[in-house]
């Protein structure tokens, strides 16, 4: 499964097993906390037509030449309203996303892959 997900993230296109339209990136930022850690804040927008109660998804950042800078799993218990935004802030150590500190914002292409979702009405959808 991880190999498939890595392939999906590297290709950056919609495939079976990945929905790249249900959530979209709206913004991201990174700031150093100290010499050993930094914080990334990412904002997502829901394009779903009903409230999301649980989600299995992975976000990734690619550089302008298509190389993956890094990826992370979204909080599984994220609650997101239709058309609403969800902000996730994570702290990372060295050697994970440090390239984001030197890349220009327009040199980074974020991507989000939704694998499965549970809506508030109890319906599930897997991709």
Average of per-residue pLDDT values in the chain: 89
Would you kindly state where each structural domain of the chain is located, as residue ranges? 2-126
pLDDT tens digits along 52-71 = 999 999 999 999 999 999 99
pLDDT at 113 over 80: yes
The confidence score (pLDDT) of residue 96 equals 83
pLDDT level of residue 1 (50, 70, 90 thresholds): very low
pLDDT of residue 16: 62
- In tens, the pLDDT along 2-23 reads 444 454 545 444 456 899 999 9
CB within 8 A of 87, min separation 6: which ones?
A: 41, 42, 43, 44
pLDDT band at 83 (very low <50, low <70, confident <90, very high): very high
CA dihedral sign of residues 87, 90, 96, 100 = positive
Mean pLDDT value of segment 82-96: 93
Fold of 2-126: Immunoglobulin-like (2.60.40)
For the cut 60, the answer to whether the pLDDT of residue 45 exceeds it is yes
Contact 10, 71 (CB under 8 A): no
């Amino acid at each position: 499964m991880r190999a498939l997900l890595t392939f999906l993230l590297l290709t950056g296109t919609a495939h079976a097993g990945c929905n790249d339209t249900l959530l979209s990136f709206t913004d991201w930022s990174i700031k150093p906390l100290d010499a050993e850690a930094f914080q990334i804040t990412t904002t997502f927008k829901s394009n779903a037509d009903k409230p999301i109660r649980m989600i299995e998804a992975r976000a990734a950042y690619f550089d302008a030449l298509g190389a993956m800078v890094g990826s992370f799993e979204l909080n599984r218990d994220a609650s997101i309203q239709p058309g609403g935004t969800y902000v996730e802030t994570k702290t990372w150590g060295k050697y994970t996303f440090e390239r984001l500190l030197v890349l220009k914002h327009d040199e980074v292409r974020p991507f989000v892959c939704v694998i499965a979702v549970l809506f508030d009405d109890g319906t599930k959808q897997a991709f």
